[in-house]
Amino acid sequence: MNFFNKNKQNLLVSSNLNIEGTCKNFSELSVEEIASIKKIKLENFKNSEIKNSFELNIIDHRSFHFLILQNKNLIAYSRLVPPSSNFKNLTLERFCVANAYKGRGISRILIKLIIDKAADLFPREVLSLSSLEDTKLFYEKFGFSSNYFTHDENGNLHYFMTRKSK
């Protein structure tokens, strides 16, 4: 099911849900959007190590930022980091949905937007991510598979997952 149509600004728009999705370079993000991104990340990622990692860095400047907005309010966010010396694969990070919008299909809209844009920008690259146990099945539904797992500094089990381009 396609939720969106493209408008003149190349945004994906759903008129019946009043939702729009977009991908921006860091330089295209407004001060308000950056503040909203920080807020949604803090809401989703509770431990202090992650909170401290939300300060802007060089990776943010190199990444593609995906925003899902409803009535111009940020309801979901993720970033896509291009391959580099620090990131072997194209890497999806900081996938999050505002708590008030969880369970409404917003995650599916965001992951579809990311997968489609990644295929356009990096058609031959493997897309990778790190998933907690409770989100692993979600990513598997979109073609990701788990090669191995590891534990983070807090002892949480994470699965390293990849999706090959089609």
What are the sequence ranges of the domains in the chain? 5-127
With 0-12 / 13-18 / 19 or more C-beta atoms within 10 angstroms meaning exposed / middle / buried, residue 88 is: exposed
CATH architecture entry for 5-127: 3-Layer(aba) Sandwich (3.40)
Q: How far apart are CA 2 and CA 128, in angstroms?
A: 24
pLDDT of residue 74: 97
* H/E segment holding residue 43: helix 31-44
Q: Which helix (H) or strand (E) holds 36?
A: helix 31-44
pLDDT 10s digits, 52-111: 455 567 889 999 999 999 999 999 999 999 998 677 889 999 999 999 999 999 999 999
